[in-house]
Amino acid sequence: MRPHEAPEIVIVRTGAANLASVCAACRRAGLSPRLSVEPRDVDKAALLVLPGVGAFGPAAENLERFGLWEPLRRRAAEGRAMLAICLGMQLLFEASEESPGVSGLGVLPGRVTRFPDSERVPQLGWNRVVAPFHAPTLRTGDAAFANSFRVTTPPPGAISAITDYAGPFVAALERSGLLACQFHPELSGAFGLLLIRRWAAACLAAPRSAKEAAPC
């Protein structure tokens, strides 16, 4: 890659995402987005985004149909450079109340649950995200959410940021090069843009030997 060229980031075309906003945010972050449903791209990309807006079951079905299930599971399990957004984050878990009987990637333990019936869903708006001081990439700030389901218990082995709507839930988490956000960084202004930049820079700066073993 020539010095002036933006690093490429592969965005999985899930069939359930606002890809235009994700692509635009990646460009603002200094990256060159490319859409793909090729398993080889999921396996080999230096940077990868798993976006998602929609339902758990149909999104999982699309990933299976394109042969992306195992490459995504392997990449996430190894902690390689991957940004999972909204439904993309939920798919990392074992299951969701939204689609009974449908399995998630299962690289993170736990189940995605619906907000109580007493609350308005989806929650649409800005919430305060509170990140631990030792988080490598996550920071405290305000982010844009649009979700009816959430993960209430932070998974072990990951650093989690928390927000509150009808009780606390996981707003985002990171584990090695894996960054998963229940909120939409692509719609969260400077807060989201800086998060994408920090994540990408950390992953691209990882030593080559570390990338080959357990990237980022």
pLDDT digits (tens, 9 = 90+) for 95-126: 999 999 999 999 999 999 999 988 888 999 99
Burial of 173 (0-12, 13-18, 19+ CB in 10 A): buried
- 159, 134 in Cβ contact below 8 A? yes
Tally of helices (H runs) and strands (E runs) in the chain: 7, 12
Q: Is 86 a catalytic residue?
A: yes
- 1 — pLDDT class (breaks 50, 70, 90): very low
**CATH number belonging to domain 8-213:** 3.40.50.880
| pLDDT single digits (tens) 52-105 | 877 899 889 989 999 999 999 999 999 999 999 999 999 999 999 999 999 999
- 16 — pLDDT class (breaks 50, 70, 90): low
Q: Is 184 a catalytic residue?
A: yes
Q: What is the pLDDT of residue 17?
A: 62
Residue written as token pair 């980022």:
216
Percent of the chain residues topping a pLDDT of 90: 80
Query: What number is the average pLDDT over the span 175-181?
Result: 96
The single residue of 23, 26, 186, 203 carrying the catalytic annotation is 186
H-assigned helices in the chain: 19-28, 39-44, 56-65, 69-77, 87-90, 189-205, 208-213
- Mean of the per-residue pLDDT values of the chain: 91
- 14, 50 in Cβ contact below 8 A? yes
The single residue of 86, 181, 203, 216 carrying the catalytic annotation is 86
Q: Is 134 a catalytic residue?
A: no
Percent of the chain residues topping a pLDDT of 70: 92
What pTM was computed for the model? 0.91
- 15 — pLDDT class (breaks 50, 70, 90): low
The single residue of 174, 184, 203, 216 carrying the catalytic annotation is 184
